A = this chain, B = another copy of it.
């Protein structure tokens, strides 16, 4: 992660992506602030605030290319938007239902036991665990 920051040029090259100005700028935004969960719109806004010129179309392209090349991981928890996680390792999430925010779940937790084998001819691609949480009700 931190090494991703050091040489964005190399990171992109190793991911088979041309280090273009916008990809480097976006990579810097994504990887120089620790773990993050962004969606296209939030990254676009962040870029704008940082004075980085990128079109929304390029944001989408970049997020997908990064995902396809292992720099990001896509998370589906809200059917209205797609989230991207800078942490590509194996881990699970809390999803705050009231604010639509994602949080990484501390690793080492959640152990899944007794997973059934998938139906004939199918293999497991990933196991996603999402714990949906909401403000404690005070009844």
- Chain A: number of interface residues, binned into ranges: 35 or more
Interface pick from A4-12, A24-32, A54-62, A124-132: A124-132
Residue A50 interfacial (CB < 8 Å): no
Residue A20 interfacial (CB < 8 Å): no
Q: Which chain B positions have C-beta within 8 A of A125?
A: 97, 132-134
Mask for A102-139, Cβ within 8 A of B = 1, else 0?
Answer: 01011011111111101101111111111111111100
For this chain, the copies found in one complex come to: 2
In the complex, A78 Cα to B16 Cα: how many Å? Answer: 27
The 7 closest A-B pairs by CB, nearest first: A122-B133, A125-B132, A111-B113, A109-B116, A118-B133, A123-B136, A128-B130
